[in-house]
Chains A and B, each alone.
Chain A
Amino acid sequence: MKNYDYIIVGSGVAGVTIAKRLLAHNPLTAILMLEAGPVIPSKDRRAWWDYITLNRTPYDYTYDKKWEAKSVGTTNWLSEGARVKAVGGSTMHWGAWSLRFKPEDFQLHTNTGEGADWPISYDDLEAYYQQAEEYLAVCGDEDEEWSPRSKPYPMPPFEWTATDGLMIKAFEEMGIKPGKMPLARYRKCFTTGTCKYCPFGSRFSAVDILTELLENKKYLNFTLRPNTPVRKINCESRDKIASIECLNNLTGEVSFEKASHYIICSGSYETPKLLMNSKNEFWKNGVGNDEDLCGRFIISHSMLKVRGRFPENKERWFQEYDFPTLMSRSYDTPERQKIGKILLFRDRVQPNQNIASLMIAGKTCDEIDAIMTGPMTIEIQAFMEEKGKHENHLRIMEGTDRFGLPLTEISFSRTEEENANAEENLDILKQVILKMGCTINPGDARIDDPGAHHTTGTCRMGKTAADGVTDENLKVHGISNLYLCSNGVFPTGSAVNPTLTLTALSIRLSDLLIQQSNLSKL
């Protein structure tokens, strides 16, 4: 049996970033990357045309089905349509909004008495944020002052659109500072607006990096095995992993693979599940799970939405990009932590009229002109920060899915106070819409269910084993050669998207592993 230097479970942005850096440091590093999902072509012209004409992506089929991830709490938790289980993971379809957390996000418990603190601070991560922004090629505004930064963004921002202008005025009247959404655009972007399946590989996707690694002839010892779910982690002693058990979905063959270090990058659902599933004589409750923290403290973002209506649209405004360009972090401040901070942004879809659908329905040119200049909707949305609670948890359900991964059960509930806080935040959005001179119809202001998009907390890091599953270096407490790297390790979710922070953590972990390997050679 080959003994690899590293086994990486999962081929999303976390796993791929770590592999890339380890290989850049030493091209001969022996890495086995195991991925439960299949290979799905990226930048494929037929797949792109099907997305345009049929609104269908080639990875749709990998999403969780209702019966594969059940919600059993009093607040419905959405898993469908979120996780891509394929080579490249969920960056196959992410929006690439790339915002840093703020210093106070690392000290939620200290500041509010709720949730948790991180065992590291913003300052510990700042240099890695910088590197992550360069790696993902984040286009952002150098004049923004939301989070402290030592260097400007590597690329200039996308400018506000004229439609943003309608909302900017209301923002300014309310003392809300408008900002430009930082977006990761890896290669030259042709502003095609089909970012869920970019035909040019411009929007960062882990699958494109992986292709480069696999094609690089220097990386002789890098192996990717798709269609291979890891089912169990085996220990040789309480503090050392001996092997992992994986199944080749195509042949049905089960194998045991060995490495010096094991890095679990299988996302915030599967990482705790893999630990919980790995019960043995040393860890009766699952590897690293003596304190019963795996799967607990699950949070995501509540999505707040308020739609406004204008009676007419003389200027024929419609959304010309498939991503938002206007946002604000004016309510993403330490003072708002207690109630739950929000990231405000203008919806990426509205105002909109589907011109082709109108033509398909047989509308004439004049009729379509009248619709284009007729009533218009515009929407403001916000992500709202949630706080992890012990009783909210993710568990393993009996049975496996199509990819050989255990089924999931999520129990998530909000308290009366949390619901009231969400309503209070929703009022801010309503005020913006009213300030714009729009009307709000019944049902147009709502708080959507949370879901899998931004799941965090499920194997959080903490100073001691009683606080978290991993230590500040993402090493599982009490085990010398097992690391976790996913959004699950975040003790708090902040009000912004997680992936820039995850990438910064991945870079930090790879540096640590490189340091260790340098030391062991001395």
Chain B
Amino acid sequence: MNTTLMLTGDICKDIIDPGLIQSEHQPLTAAQREFLWKLFVQIGNVWENVYYESSNLKSSWLEMIAAKTNVAPSYTGEYINATYVLQELIDLNGEENAYRLLFLTYKQPAGPPTTRLAHTKTFVVNEFIIMQVMASGFKHFGGKNYHGYVKGSRYSKQDLVRVYKPDPATNTDPQS
């Protein structure tokens, strides 16, 4: 299996309008949601940036999906589109490779997304990555807190960020 070239088919290449795919009042099924969850989990697998299972993040992720599908403008059309695109990528590249190629190899053409594949990257993959990093993935790269991370009450006994300790010897605490 080629690991540098991503094979794409008719669905990925299909030209569509760059705006959010219209889908008001359309429901997202449980099966579609689970399919997308697998995509989310693969972010942690490819970058190896979640310490425990991504499952810890599932309730947050579900909350985002609900907010993005239940309220206008609905992302349901984008999410359903992504399931078709991903299935085609998996069929052509194999399951493990498909995600890696989509995340690391695929270079989205500049400008607004005009193919089903570009829509998936813009509205689904990129937003899932942002959510994953802020919900936990940032910790792997250092730091205790991050823009969007609900660290907890500011009166918690735990340090909320890497705090200043006047003694320089104790002021180097990148990972804890």
- In the complex, what residues of B have CB within 8 A of residue A189's CB? 153-154
CB neighbours (8 Å) of B141 from chain A are 316, 353, 355, 368-369, 372
Q: Which residue of B lies closest to A159 (CB)?
A: B163
User: Do A188 and B154 form a contact, CB below 8 Å, given A52-B130, A162-B165, A369-B141?
Assistant: yes
Of the listed residues A53, A158, A316, the one surrounded by the most CB atoms of chain B closer than 10 A to its CB is: A53
Known: A52-B148, A192-B149, A320-B144. A355 touches B133 (CB 8 A): yes
From A54, A160, A190, A317, B151 is in contact (CB under 8 Å) with A190
Contacting chain B: which of A145-153, A356-364, A413-421, A489-497? A356-364
- Residues A161 and B68 in contact, CB atoms below 8 Å apart: no
From A161, A191, A359, B103 is in contact (CB under 8 Å) with A359
The residue from B127, B147, B148, B163 contacting A162, defined by CB atoms under 8 A apart: B163
Residue of chain B at shortest CB distance from A200: B150
Query: How far is B147's CA from A364's CA once the two chains are assembled, in angstroms?
Result: 21
Q: Which of B64-88 contact A (CB under 8 A)?
A: 64, 67-68, 70-71
B47, A52: Cβ atoms closer than 8 Å: no
Q: Which B residues, 133 to 175, have Cβ-Cβ distances below 8 Å to chain A?
A: 133-134, 137-138, 140-155, 160-166, 168, 171-174
B129 and A356 contact, CB distance less than 8 A = yes
Query: What are the interface flags for A183-198 relative to B under an 8 Å C-beta threshold, 1 for contact and 0 otherwise?
Result: 0010011111110000
A159 and B155 CA atoms in complex are apart in Å by: 11
Tell whether A315 pairs with B174 under 8 Å between CB atoms, given A52-B148, A168-B164, A369-B141. yes
Complex Cα distance A343/B71, Å? Answer: 43
Asked if B104 is at the interface (CB within 8 A of a chain A CB), the reply is yes
- A320, B143: Cβ atoms closer than 8 Å: yes
Interface size band for A: 35 or more
Contact in complex: B130, A356 (CB < 8 Å) = yes
Residues of A within 8 A of B154 (CB): 158, 185, 188-191
A321 touches B161 (CB 8 A): yes
Q: Is the CB of A372 within 8 A of B173?
A: no
A318 near B104 (CB under 8 angstroms)?
no
* Chain A residues positioned under 8 Å from B153 (CB to CB): 188-191
Contacts of B104 in A (CB 8 A): 362, 364
Q: With A52-B134, A188-B154, A355-B137 as known contacts, state yes or no: A316 contacts B142, CB within 8 Å.
A: yes
Within the complex, which residue of B127, B137, B151 is in contact with A191, where a contact is CB–CB below 8 Å?
A: B151
Q: Which residues of B contact A318 (CB under 8 A)?
A: 142-143
- A310 is an interface residue with CB less than 8 A from chain B: no
Note all chain B residues with C-beta closer than 8 A to A511. Answer: none
Question: Is B131 interfacial (CB-CB < 8 Å)?
Answer: yes
Q: Is B49's CB within 8 Å of the partner chain A?
A: yes
CA distance A103 to B87 in the complex (A): 68
Q: Is A522 an interface residue (CB 8 A)?
A: no
In the assembled complex, how far is the CB of residue B108 from the closest CB belonging to chain A, in whole angstroms? 9
Encode A26-69 as 1/0 by CB contact (under 8 A) with B.
00000000000000000001100100111000000000000000
Please tell me if B10 contacts chain A, counting CB pairs below 8 Å.
no
A362 CA / B99 CA spacing, docked (Å): 12
The distance in angstroms between the C-alpha atoms of A39 and B11, with both chains bound, is 42
- Cβ-defined contact, B144 with A194, below 8 A: no
Does B126 sit at the interface, judged by CB under 8 A? yes
With a cutoff of 8 Å between Cβ atoms, the chain A residues found around residue B132 in the complex are 356
Which of B63, B67, B106, B129 is the one whose CB lies under 8 Å from A359? B129
Chain A residue at smallest Cβ distance from B65: A49
Cross-chain contact B149 with A372 (CB below 8 angstroms): no
A1 within 8 A of B: no
Query: Would you list the 8 A-B pairs with minimal beta carbon distance, nearest first?
Result: A316-B142, A320-B161, A160-B164, A320-B145, A162-B162, A165-B164, A46-B71, A356-B133
15 A–B pairs (Cβ distance < 8 Å), ordered by A: A49-B67, A162-B171, A189-B153, A189-B154, A191-B150, A191-B154, A320-B145, A321-B145, A355-B138, A355-B141, A356-B130, A359-B43, A362-B104, A365-B48, A365-B49
